[in-house]
Each structure stands twice: as C-alpha cells, then as structure tokens.
Structure 1
Amino acid sequence: IPPAHTETWSPELVLADGATDRIACTPGLAPVAYPLSHGRELVVAATAAGYLVLHDRTPQPFLDRAVWRADGTLLVAGGLPDAAPHATELVLKHGAHAAESAFPTTHDGGRFHCALPLGALPSLAGALPLREGRWTLHLRERGAAGSLLDAPVRCTPTLFDGLPATRTVRGKPLTLDRHRHDEAFVLAGPALPATDRGPYRRRVLREQHYPLHRTRPLRDTVLYSSFGGRAYGDSPRAVHEELVRRGADVDHLWAVRDAQSTVPGTARAVLVGSAEWHGALAHSRWIVTNTHLPAWFTRRGGQTVVQTWHGTPLKRIGADLAGTLCAGLAHLAPRPRLGRQWSVLLSPNAHSTPVLRSALGFPGELLETGLPRTDALFAADRDRTAAAVRARLGVPPGKKVVLYAPTPRDDLAYDASHHRLHLPLDLGAARRALADGHVLLVRGHPLVADRLPAHHAPFAVDVSAHPDATELLLAADVLVTDYSSLAADFANTGRPMLFLTPDLPHYRDTLRGFTLDFEARAPGPLLGSTEELIDALGDLDAVTRASADAYADFRGAFCHRDDGGAAGRVADLLTD
C-alpha cells in the first residue's frame, strides 16, 4: 500500500528506437529536495538498487547522526525541511497498536536535535523501557494531532553503514534501523534474557526446567501476579502490602511482563517467561494471582494458590458466555482445567459467589472475603492518597476529576492479549463543553494496547499506565464507565456514576450479556451519546437524586463485604 504522504516516480530515458532505460546512479547519492509551490517537495534520490527516483511528497526530515548513550538514550540530529513548523516533536508510533510517544526537539538553523530516553521513559508507573515492538519515527508540529500524513524521518545514505545500531539496557535490546530503504524505526526487543527467548527455548523451560524445579523443596516465597505481569496493582498488591505490614518472614516476588512495571523495594521483579519465573512458579509456597496462570502450571502438594480474580462480574465471563459472540474455545475450554490450579477462589460479594463458581468451573473452596483491592478506599490516609494522585497527574485545584474507564470489547481486538481502545466519547465536544471546570482521566483495561494521544492534554489525559486503578478511584469525583467491574468498587465512595452505553443492545444481546438486570440496577443513568454525558456532568446533583434508590440497592448488593479488611483475611489464609 503506497504511503499517503509520498508519490514515487521512476524517471527513464527514451532511446532512439522508442525503448526506455532506467537511469543508474550511485546508491549513496545524497537526496536533494526542491520545494514545490503547493506545499510539497520534489526529492531526487537513489533507490537501494542504484537507480534514480523522484518523490513528490510532504516535506520530510533526514536523520544524519544517531548515537546511543549507555543508559539507553538515543541522541539524534538531522536536517529539517524548509517547510518545517517552528516547534516540532519527534514521535515514535507503534507499528501494530495505536500508541505513540512524543519528544520535543530543538532547532539549530535548518537542523533538529532530540534526545529519546528509550531505556527509561517517564510514565505513571515509573521509568520504564520502550514497550516491545517496532516503532517508526515521525516529525510533526509540537502538540498537533497525529495523522497518516505525519512526516516519516528518513536516514541519509551516510548513516546506512552504521545501521542497525543496538544498545541493550538491563537486558532490553533497543535497535535503531531502517526499512523501506531509508525510513527510520526503533525495534524494542523483549526484556527476556536471550537464552529464554524463542519457541524452542520456551518449550525447554516448560517441559524440562519447570518439572525439574517441581522436584525441589518449596521455598518460603510468595509470587504475585497482577493481570499476567502487566502492573503492580489490584488485589495482589493489597495482599503484598498487608503481608509486608505484618512483617511476614517470606520472600516476595512480583511477576513483570517485558519490564513494563516497577515494583517497590519490598519485592523483587521476575520477568514473565524467564527461567527464574518458571522456577518461581514451581517452588514458591504461595502464589497470589488475579487472573489465569499458564495452562501448563500444576499446583503441587504444599503449594497454596490464591485466585483473587479481578472484580465483580457484572458482565458474563467464562462458561457463562455460551450462546454469545464470545463463546469460543479461548473462553470456554480451559475453565475447569485452569480452576483446578487454585487452592482457593475469592469472591467479592454474595452475587459473585455462584457466578464465579459456575463461570470459572471451580469445584474447590470459595471464600466470600470481599475484594482486597478495595481496602484502599477505606484506608485512614485515603484523602492524602487522592491528593497525591491528583498532584502527580497535574490536576489544577478546583477542577472536577472525571475518570472514564470503558471496558474492552472482544470484537475490537488485535489478538487475544491486545485489545483496541473503545472510545465512543467525542473528546472534541467534551473539551469544548467541559474543559473550564473538568479534567478527564481515561483509563484503559490492562489488555488494551492503544493509548490516548498526548495532544488531548491537559483536558483529557491517558492514565492507563497508572499501576493501580483503586488510587484513580480515590482521586475521581465522578466515574464514567459502561460495563466495568470498577463500578462495584466505586460504589464504596458514594460518589456519582454515569454509564456511557451507546452499544448496550449489542453488548447485552450479542457480545457478552450480564449477570444481572443491568438496565434496571445500574447505579446511574445509562447515556447514549456524548451530549447526554455532558448534560449529566453539568447537573450531578440531579443525577444523584434520581439515582439514589438504585445506587443504594447496588451498593448493598455488591459492597457488603468491603470493609477495608479483605487483604487481612487473605493474609490470614497464607500465614495460618
């Protein structure tokens, strides 16, 4: 598919007999750009095969210097096109997902300079290396919205011999390279050690390394896993902090996927998929997880596996999806087998107890303990935590914080582990109506790979990287969601909730369905458009009055076990 920003022409000589012949040149010919009157440029360049080529395209920069620092910072410099904006930024765009990172550039005459701290990118989860994948480089006006016409950054032929250029930072390989002959990109490899990568090595770890460690004595170690290693948060975090508070004489290990989480000094990170992680699954005496463990994991004698799950199942899950669009083998087949991995399954409330047992096919001990992650909503320092989160996010004093947390859609996914961001909210209309008095925090599910572009800030800010959703609930004045289990958590605060559900018939009747009469019991209005949401946010007092009875019923049904002591009850299970 030809790129939208470039049209390419191959000049040929017409010989006396009418035949044509392409024009040869040295492959190292430096590109020469000629500005055109309609805002584009004509570039004379060489192909990789050594033929002359003409490009009619949007003005594009050329990279002629690139140096890796030891800490994983990539220093780049190059020439700007004549039509470059006064202030620009370099943008890394993920090749498969709608995610990007932008870095301001400095200008020096007709040149640009930029430092990309790819080994330690600032994020709400701490300094993290660039996420795995291929990231293309682009230049655009600083703060502008992204588009298919964002100018790619191209490499001059003088840079070709130095590519690919790789720097490995704490086991994470980062490589600057080129594709399509001269377009620059960065390849972020997996954080796993080289000896643990690849299909063959994964099989060896699964079929030889893991069984070997199962023959060795159990260790007094707790292995925690939150959403398969995607975050330091949720109920496993609450249990960890309770055990640390008690001074439990155990080692704490935290599963981390692709080095995309930071863990506190009270725990040690182990990379998901590494030999160390396989060993930890085999010999940890206790495992605390909020989602499924690998299918090949088998709980051994003396090993305790606590499945906290990750919220009240308002929507149908597991075996209960039979008859819906999601009734595939990925949801239905593994449930009884995976359920046998657990020693105990926790339920947040009486409604969830039969639902979880049926949907997850769990025949063992099921304890109605409440949800450990909600303990933070009852903590004595919850107001201080909320203020700290607001300050960290740069929320101005006096502005109302709206947390928007849509649930992922199974029919909007790249693959089973990476979902698209479902965003029916018109951010432009919301900004025009609400920006003076509101800040919108957009929180994607841990499985959602897309991110909200930075140009929507400061009104709308993507907070998906924040490791713990409960802290965001504390900071929020109002929750906007659709079918997320966070509604049951947020009901503990007594603050208003709004439900943006324009696809309700499709979600209810085709995609998943619910474990309750959602339309009758939702603790807030069901809104079908951005305009309705704006109106509701403009009169929250009226919303609160109209929803008071439904809110009280919802809170009584789903929050009756939440009292700030759920993590303590789980800790008792592990230490008794």
Structure 2
Amino acid sequence: MRTISIILPFFKYKHYFKECLQNLAQSTFKDFELIVVLDHPTEDIDDLLEQYNSVFDMKVYALPEGVTGVAACRNVGIQEAKGAYLYFLDSDDYVLEDTLQNMIKAIDHDVDMVYGMINHTWNNKANYLHKIENKEVDEEDQEEREQQRLNRLSDFISFSSYEKDEQQAKAIFYTMDNRKGIRTFTVLGNLYNRDFVVRNNLKFNENFRYYCDMTFMCPLLEKLTSALQVEEAIYVKRKHNDPINEPALSQEENENRFNERCDAVEYTRTLLKEEGVVRFCLDRKIVSYFVSQMAKKIRRSQDDLWRTEYFERMAKTMDGIRPEVMNRYKRNSRKMVAYLQNRDLKGVQSCVRRKLGIKKFFRIFKNKNVLFKLAYYHVYSKKPIQENTILFETFMAKNYSDSPKYIYEYIAKNYPGKYKCVWALNDGHEVPYGAEVVKRFSFKYAYYLAVSKYFVFNVRQPLWYRKREGQVFVETWHGTPLKRLVFDQEEVTSASPKYKQQFYRQRQEWDYLVSANPFSTKTFRSCFMYEGKMLEYGYPRNDILYWPNKDQIAKDLRKKLGIPEDKKTILYAPTWRDDEHYGKGEYKFTLALDLKLMMEKLSDEYVVLLRTHHYIADNIDTTGLEGFVYNLSKYDDISEIYLISDICITDYSSVFFDFANLKRPVLFYTYDIEKYKNQLRGFYIDMNTEVPGPLLYTSEEVVNAILNIDQINEEYKERYEEFYKRFCCYDDGNASKHIVEEVFK
C-alpha cells in the first residue's frame, strides 16, 4: 500500500497541468499513488498522461456525464484511494521537492491531519524560487511578525477553551481562523488520514462549485483528535496572470457566486455543533466578508442587486450567526451587522459611509496624493471637456521625447494657436512652442485628465483615469515588440502581477494605436487584444531619422555632448529584466558588459554612449571610464542619439528596430538569452536567424566584433536588407503628419 494518495482533478489549462506534473516528478518522496480525475477536459492531455504514466503509480478516472466540478473529482479520489493519507493537489498549483518528504518524516504515530504552509504566487516554480532567493528579509521584522502570530494563537486557544486539546485548537487556528477571507479557506496543503476521513464519512458537497472546501474541512476540523504542523511542508498556490482568458476558479466571474457563498455557509452550519469553535470561526468569516467587501458594494456599486436581492440574501445568512461572534468587532461593524439583520438598508449605508469616510481621511493623512484623485472624480470630471486641449505624456512623465514629442512639434509648427497643448513632465523640463507643463499626479494633471479632448501617450494611462464620453485617446506605444507582451506572455514576472487584468481594462479606452510595420499591427492585435483603429504610418519618433538636416542635427549634438570629432561612437542600450525589480516601474540592472575591457581595446578609435531603459532605477557607475563612456541615460530623446551612433549594441530592447532605419551595424549582447527566452518573456521572432546582426555572449566577443565590424557588415548584409524591408517599411519621415491629419482632422 502506498503511503500517500495524491488526488489531482483536471478540467482545463494543459500548460499548468504539465508544470504541476513536472514538479511532482521532482519530489524527493516517491511512495505515493497519483489519482487523476478528469472533469470533462476541454483539451487533449493523452500525451501528458502517457508520458507520466511510467513516472508515477498513476490511476486515471473520468467523471460521468452530468457530473462536474472539483468536489465530485475529489470525492472520486477519496473513494478510489488506497494510501494511508490523502493529499489534494490542484492542477495549476505545485509542491516543492521536499514538501511531501517533510510531512511524512514528521509523523511518528497515526494522526488525523498533518498541515503545512500555503504560499501564494503568480509564477511558475523557477521564478517563484528566484524571487524567494532574492527577497531581502528583515530579521527583526520577521521576528515581530512571528511574535504577533503566536500572540494571536495564544488568544485563540484561551478564547476557544481548547487548552486541554491544544493540537486541535492550533489546527483550527492555522488552517481556518488565521487565514483571512472565505476564498483562502482551503483543504490544500494538508495530509489527511484516509481511515479518519472514511470513518467519519467526510465528503465534498458537489452542489458547490466555488465553496465546496468548507463542506469538507469544517466538519473534519471539528472531529479532529490529533493533528501535526510541519512548517517546512510548502504547498504553492498559483494565481493566474491572465484572468481574462484563463481565470482560475477563484478568479471566475459568475453571478451565482454570491448566492453560493451564502448557501455553502448555511449548509456547512448544519454539519457543525452550534456552540462549537469551528462554527464560530465560520460565522466570523461571513461577517468579515460582509463588513469588508460586500458593504462597499452596497455603497458604491452601480448594480442595484447589492441593495436589493443580495442585501436580503446576506441578511438571511447573518440571521444564523451567534451574537458573541460580534464581540470581536469594532462598534461600527457591530452596528452595520445589526442594521443588516433588521433589513435596514439606510442604516447599513450610513455605517459604510462613516467607515469609508474615516478610511479616506487616514489615506489623505498618510498620502496627500489621494486628494488630487478625489478632485478628479468629484470635481474635475463634472466640468465640460475642452475641445482643443491635448495632453501629452511619455514614459510616465520622465522626459520630453518619443512619438508624442514629434506629434506635438508637428502640431505646434503647422497649427500654431489652434490647440492648447499640455505636457506632463516631472523634472520641470521646458517644452518649446509654449506648451503648458504640469507635474504628473498633481491637481493640474488630474484636471487636464478630466477636461482634455485629446490624449497622446506612449505608455498606459493611470489606472485611476476613467475616459469620459467625447474624449479621444491616441496610444503611440514605444517600440516594435521583440519580447512577448501582455496576453502573449505565458508568465508575468514583473513587479505588477495583475498586469494583464489592468491592461485589458486600460486598452479599452484607446481610440487609436500607432503601428510601425505590418508585423506590429498583427502582434498588437494579439498581445493587447486590441480591436480599435490602427494608425499604420510608422513611428513619429523615427521621422527625425529621415529629415534632410539630420546630419547637422547630429553634428550639433556631438558638440553639445562634448564627443571628440575624431572618435566613432558605440551606443549600448540594454533593456530591463522582468524579475529584477525594487517595485512597480523600478527595475534593478547589473551591467554585464565589461566597459573597462572595451576601453582598453577600443578607446583609440571609439567612445561608448550608454543609454539604459527608462524603467531602470539604478545609476550605472562609470568611474574611471571618463572620456570613453558617456552616460546618456538621462538624455531625453534616444532618436537624436541614434543620429550620432555608428554602431548599436543592444540585447532584447526594441531600439534596434528603429536604429535599422539608418542601416548602420547592430550587435546583440545576449549573455542571458536562455533565461530571457524560456523563463522570463519569450520572443516573437527567432533571434538566431532573423535579427540584423550576430548574437554575442561575452564581452570579448563584443570587442572582437567591433574590431571586425566591416566583416560583420558583409556577413549580415542580406539579412539586414530583409529585416529593413519587413520592419522599416512604413517609416518615411511623415508619420507625425499622417497621424495628425487623421486624428485631429
């Protein structure tokens, strides 16, 4: 008999299931049977089952027609299991290598349940472990958090009168009471004694799609006689980056979800002792849901269901709570629940208004930026739209550059006085032709977001912006995509795991999207799920590369920057790495190119122009490289830098698509290409066969390529021509003109 029966339901998302099986195969503990229960899968997984049939002691079952859901799958698993212990595993989650081994090793006698830890992530195991490894831990803060947890545990044991049965009290605390919310209350991450489960006839209620866990777990916790905690046994619960196309069960939007939550709580109560601690904890969960989540919807939602049908349904559920449950809540929450039980909607709304008002006050007190948002929503958005006002922004107001700059200057030169132009800039940069400059995230910025007729941005608009009827949004974007973007990314490892969900809403506010080439048009349709008007004229920022006076512009810029006339220039423009960040929009960067070696070998003939991505927060130290390295990372307009660059070195940045317009040599320093391709992003084109230059993996190779640049040019001449025809075909120096004529009529 196997020691553990792992019960694994599968419905959809084959790629998650494959990773789940791959990780399970790496487990140091092998003495288990794997019971896969198929819930009418939407994808063919026969190849996966065949592949892993020889790896595991695997049994596969299928739910009969008319029966569906994770509850039914788990019940089949319990019925067919032969192991001493049961372990539930969802097909989009995974366990670490030593999780099962740590649990079994800790058992020195039969116990009803062994419970581990659940860690939440948005990432696959490789990226999850990378983030854990690189996360800086404040030991004092960790100790303080642990002490607070122990204090809560002590209070819970004392309150629950479980001093004589501390094992059961701890199990209830760690698996139920200490986990906030109802969605986080789960059967996952624990071992269950199969004899104990069968003897007590513990099953999942198959009528519930979303909240079946409580119907199994609550009666189990109440019947526990022995339990063991193993903190080193980690179950990794994986959230889905793409809740639009691939929602996890917890992310599904379903109008039945609310009623099921109430039904599941009421049903589970019937399985429990009315005066028991588990019933008390369950009641607390539904009360907490009401006062923290539902109450806000009663106040704010435009759907009147929250104030009618849902209000009455929740009141019915609340009728069943024990009065002493409310003793642990603050006065306003107690009043809110009392008003609900009395079916007093106005009373509840009054309590919610007070709660939100206090919360808003403290938010303003802690962060004065809240004030301009309030002004935006409650004052500015009620003002009339100004028909000839345009708000411009590039790279979150970090500089005056990119396509919005060239669109603006075309308007200023050709339609003087017709439009009121406003630029969002954070550094006080002066803008030519008399545009008004406002600081991003200020009262004036919020004002112009509310009243401007037109917007020309090269990145996404703020999350709190809500487009008004009559406003026109032009999204220029900021490059031809090499790296997979948004909905074409399987894994989001950046600092904003809700990236896809947020992007989906924001792109619905775009009226126009600029495309540099046919490839971009097709790719943007896919990766942004964009269905609006595409402006296929090339990038306005590339217009300068075709201007007749471009050589004079280059000469003046070299003089301004102090670059010696007798030196050729090498532009090094690396991009950011998704998994190395300080916070949202701020990325770490370690310079991998050996500039000292380049100085030693190339300084007689060349200088280096360093230009990092605007997301990179680190300042690159160029001490000792003076006169050879010119750090232009703060220089606004990279298009102007292209004009003074004889060679471009990049990695996975889109700069080479634009630079190719000049038909000058491009080198690719791709020292971490395997990680970037397989773990972080992935590419739209084959870098080995399609980019217009060689892939180089060491600083020595980069130096050698520069020393033999004529040979490189000849070797890649044909590929460069093909690349130019494919990706530079729209650019002709008139993109700004065409876009202005179409958008502004």
Give the TM-score taking structure 2 as reference length. 0.50
1:366 counterpart SS class: strand
> CA distance change for structure 1 residues 292 and 320 in 2, over 3 Å: closer, same or farther?
same
Does residue 1:380 correspond to 2:525, yes or no? no
Does residue 1:467 correspond to 2:467, yes or no? no
Q: Deviations over 1:366-386 (max 9, x none)?
A: 221211100010011111111
CA distance in 2, matches of 1:478, 1:260: 32
Does residue 1:217 correspond to 2:384, yes or no? yes
CA distance in 2, matches of 1:474, 1:358: 33
Does residue 1:346 correspond to 2:514, yes or no? yes
> CA distance change for structure 1 residues 351 and 199 in 2, over 3 Å: closer, same or farther?
farther
1:569 counterpart SS class: helix
Q: Structure 1 residue 270: deviation in Å?
A: 0.3
Q: Structure 1 residue 497: deviation in Å?
A: 0.5
Does residue 1:507 correspond to 2:676, yes or no? yes
What letter is aligned with 2:681? R
1:518 counterpart SS class: coil
Does residue 1:242 correspond to 2:410, yes or no? yes
> CA distance change for structure 1 residues 198 and 484 in 2, over 3 Å: closer, same or farther?
farther
**387-396 or 413-422, larger mean C-alpha shift:** 413-422
Q: Deviations over 1:67-87 (max 9, x none)?
A: xxxxxxxxxxxxxxxxxxxxx
Partner of 2:616: 448
Does residue 1:480 correspond to 2:649, yes or no? yes
Q: Structure 1 residue 522: deviation in Å?
A: 1.0
CA distance in 2, matches of 1:260, 1:528: 40
Partner of 2:722: 553
CA distance in 2, matches of 1:518, 1:422: 23
Q: Structure 1 residue 247: deviation in Å?
A: 2.2
User: Quick check: 2:557–2:644 contact (8 Å CA) kept in 1?
Assistant: yes
Q: Structure 1 residue 469: deviation in Å?
A: 0.4
Give the TM-score taking structure 1 as reference length. 0.64
Gaps of 5+ in 1: 1-195
The 5 Å alignment of 1:556-571 reads 556-571=725-740
Gaps of 5+ in 2: 1-362
Partner of 2:599: 431
> CA distance change for structure 1 residues 416 and 380 in 2, over 3 Å: closer, same or farther?
same
CA distance in 1, matches of 2:664, 2:675: 28
User: Quick check: 1:408–1:422 contact (8 Å CA) kept in 2?
Assistant: no
> CA distance change for structure 1 residues 454 and 558 in 2, over 3 Å: closer, same or farther?
same
User: Quick check: 1:226–1:233 contact (8 Å CA) kept in 2?
Assistant: yes
User: Quick check: 1:224–1:253 contact (8 Å CA) kept in 2?
Assistant: yes
Q: Structure 1 residue 213: deviation in Å?
A: 1.6
Q: Structure 1 residue 418: deviation in Å?
A: 1.2
Q: Deviations over 1:459-507 (max 9, x none)?
A: 0111011100000001100100011111000110010000111111111
The 5 Å alignment of 1:522-541 reads 522-541=691-710
The 5 Å alignment of 1:179-218 reads 200-218=367-385
What letter is aligned with 2:706? L
The 5 Å alignment of 1:63-142 reads none
Q: Structure 1 residue 310: deviation in Å?
A: 0.2
1:334 counterpart SS class: helix
What letter is aligned with 1:457? E
Partner of 2:571: 403
> CA distance change for structure 1 residues 327 and 225 in 2, over 3 Å: closer, same or farther?
closer
The 5 Å alignment of 1:228-307 reads 228-248=396-416, 249-257=418-426, 259=427, 261-307=429-475
**311-320 or 358-367, larger mean C-alpha shift:** 358-367
Q: Which has the larger radius of gyration?
A: 2
Q: Structure 1 residue 263: deviation in Å?
A: 2.4
CA distance in 1, matches of 2:422, 2:547: 25
Partner of 1:365: 533
Count of residues in Structure 1 that have an aligned counterpart in Structure 2: 380
CA distance in 1, matches of 2:644, 2:365: 42
User: Quick check: 1:326–1:512 contact (8 Å CA) kept in 2?
Assistant: no
**320-329 or 283-292, larger mean C-alpha shift:** 320-329
Does residue 1:521 correspond to 2:695, yes or no? no
What percent of counterpart residues are identical? 34
> CA distance change for structure 1 residues 519 and 214 in 2, over 3 Å: closer, same or farther?
same
Partner of 1:36: none
**290-299 or 326-335, larger mean C-alpha shift:** 326-335
Q: Structure 1 residue 265: deviation in Å?
A: 4.4
User: Quick check: 2:424–2:440 contact (8 Å CA) kept in 1?
Assistant: yes
User: Quick check: 1:299–1:342 contact (8 Å CA) kept in 2?
Assistant: no
What letter is aligned with 2:658? D
Higher relative contact order (CA 8 A, sep 6+): 1
Q: Structure 1 residue 412: deviation in Å?
A: 2.0
> CA distance change for structure 1 residues 354 and 422 in 2, over 3 Å: closer, same or farther?
farther
Higher helix share: 2
User: Quick check: 2:535–2:739 contact (8 Å CA) kept in 1?
Assistant: no
User: Quick check: 2:484–2:682 contact (8 Å CA) kept in 1?
Assistant: yes
Q: Deviations over 1:237-284 (max 9, x none)?
A: 010010011124111111012x26442243121000110000001111
CA distance in 2, matches of 1:513, 1:221: 40
**387-396 or 302-311, larger mean C-alpha shift:** 387-396
1:329 counterpart SS class: coil
Q: Structure 1 residue 290: deviation in Å?
A: 0.2
> CA distance change for structure 1 residues 544 and 575 in 2, over 3 Å: closer, same or farther?
same
Higher strand share: 1
Partner of 1:335: 503
CA distance in 1, matches of 2:378, 2:508: 18
> CA distance change for structure 1 residues 262 and 492 in 2, over 3 Å: closer, same or farther?
same
The 5 Å alignment of 1:151-162 reads none
